[in-house]
């Protein structure tokens, strides 16, 4: 199985946890698709585990990032520190019936928590600030409840005060399609995330036939991307970070086993579209 195929289960696991696809995803898509739902066995849930990280290591990384002016380059530097981090699904704790617990797990990430941690590190200068930024990135207004968790990528990307900008239309130009979605609602009317309300959202995505070398040249290191999902109730099935290197354009993402860099254009073969958010300096 190719790395691209292996990484497909991500999202779904989120929905249940949040890797896109899950409604918990933050719904992690444990439910619906491979990305959604296919995230694997649920690990023992615990709210805090830094893995091989130490507080001092986190703050040293923040110190290095502080000297970088460009937001995308900052994301690239921070995310590089997560390479080879094990893939771990369903680490977030909470549901409509279970109390939400603020979770910080650096011992493993899924495609969505990976973005959470990278963006929170970008927006903070010390360990306490990292935790505070994470709370506001993962939850609406920083309120730690299941109903306030940003379960979907398109909600996550539009929730912050200003640090991310939807550039899908800017990058795609005439190759962009817009679709109205009712997030969390399946085609049969049931919910991916029981107890979580349906949210009407207009999603812009670049259709796959238009994704070529010219379009990829408009992407920058540090852009956050989502792989568009045509399924009712879902916006994307997987997420990652664009990385530009001498060898071309790569996707840095939490694949099935660990965080890796993978050539983007081959990875996109067979995918249904692209959603793009760009980090900006105002936060």
Enter the tokens of residue 34.
């491979």
Q: In angstroms, rounded to a whole number, what is the distance separating the alpha carbons of residues 172 and 153? A: 18
3-state secondary structure of 48: strand
Q: Mean pLDDT per 10-residue run, the chain (283 residues)?
A: 36 42 42 35 74 96 97 98 98 96 98 98 97 96 96 89 88 97 98 97 94 93 98 98 96 97 95 96 68
For position 283, what pLDDT does the model report?
53
What pLDDT is attached to residue 269?
92
CA gap 195, 158 in Å, rounded: 22
Supply the pLDDT for residue 282: 64
| Separation CA 4–CA 261 (nearest Å) | 11
Q: For domain 3-279, give its CATH number from 3.40.50.1820, 2.60.40.1930, 2.30.260.10, 1.10.3720.10.
A: 2.30.260.10
Domain borders along the chain are 3-279
Q: CB–CB of 256/6 below 8 Å?
A: yes
Q: What single string gives the DSSP state of each residue in 235-263?
A: SEEEEEEEEEETTEEEEEEE-SSBEEEEE
Residue 229 CA from chain centroid, whole number: 14
Neighbours of 40 (CB within 10 A): 15
Q: Specify the pTM.
A: 0.87
Residue 191 dihedral angles phi and psi, to the nearest 5°:
-110, 145
């Amino acid at each position: 199985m190719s790395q691209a195929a292996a990484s497909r289960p991500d999202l779904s696991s989120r929905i249940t946890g949040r890797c896109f696809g899950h409604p918990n995803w933050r719904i992690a898509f444990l439910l619906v698709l491979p990305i959604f739902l296919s995230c694997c066995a649920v690990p023992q849930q615990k709210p805090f585990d830094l893995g091989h990280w130490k507080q001092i290591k986190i703050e040293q990384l923040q110190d290095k990032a502080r000297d970088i002016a460009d937001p995308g380059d900052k994301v690239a530097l921070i995310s590089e520190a997560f390479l080879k981090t094990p893939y771990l699904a369903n680490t977030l704790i909470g549901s409509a019936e279970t109390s939400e617990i603020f979770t910080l797990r650096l011992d493993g990430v899924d495609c969505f928590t990976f973005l959470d941690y990278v963006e929170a590190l970008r927006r903070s200068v010390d360990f306490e600030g990292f935790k505070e930024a994470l709370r506001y990135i993962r939850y609406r207004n920083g309120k730690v409840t299941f109903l306030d968790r940003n379960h979907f990528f398109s909600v996550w990307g539009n929730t912050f005060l200003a640090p991310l900008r939807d550039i899908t239309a800017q990058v795609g130009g005439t190759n962009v399609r817009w679709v109205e979605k009712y997030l969390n609602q399946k085609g049969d009317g049931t919910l991916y995330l029981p107890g979580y309300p349906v949210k009407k959202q207009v999603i812009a995505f670049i259709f796959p036939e238009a994704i070529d070398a010219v379009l990829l040249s408009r992407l920058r290191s540090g852009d956050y991307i989502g792989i568009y999902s045509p399924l009712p109730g879902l916006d994307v099935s997987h997420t990652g970070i664009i990385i530009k290197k001498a060898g071309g354009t790569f996707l840095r993402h939490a694949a099935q086993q660990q965080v890796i860099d993978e050539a983007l254009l081959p990875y996109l073969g067979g995918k249904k579209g692209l959603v793009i958010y760009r980090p900006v300096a105002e936060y």
